[in-house]
């Protein structure tokens, strides 16, 4: 199986871990996460920070303002 581990970094509350993630759907300012044993969840105002294919890990970051792709500010 090729499940992923997803870490969501939030400024105030630290990190949230999602295990056995089977699919991610990226939209303009949100990410939908699906897994085998839980209903899909949508994370608003979230961007990709890092994808590590060797460890099957994706790190997401919650942002306070929507950002454009490639916007480094």
Instruction: For the chain, give every domain's residue range.
Output: 4-62
Q: What is the sign of the dihedral through the CA atoms of 28, 34, 21 and 33?
A: positive
Mean pLDDT of 9-23: 86
Confidence bin at 35 (pLDDT 50/70/90): very high
Q: Does the pLDDT of residue 18 top 80, yes or no? A: yes
How buried is residue 56: exposed, middle or buried, by Cβ count under 10 Å (0-12/13-18/19+)? middle
CA of residue 52 relative to chain centroid, distance: 12
- pLDDT value, residue 1: 64
The two three-digit tokens of residue 45, written as one number: 């105002």
User: pLDDT: is 42 or 65 the higher one?
Assistant: 42
Q: Cα 62 to chain center, whole Å?
A: 9
Output the pLDDT for position 60: 93
**Which two tokens mark 34?**
């699906």
């Amino acid at each position: 199986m090729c499940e992923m581990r997803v870490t969501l970094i939030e400024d105030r509350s630290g990190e949230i871990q999602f295990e056995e993630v089977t699919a991610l759907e990226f939209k303009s300012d949100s990410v939908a996460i699906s897994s085998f044993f839980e209903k899909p969840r949508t994370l608003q105002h979230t961007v990709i920070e890092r994808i590590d294919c060797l460890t099957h890990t994706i790190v997401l970051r919650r942002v306070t303002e929507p950002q454009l792709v490639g916007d480094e500010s």
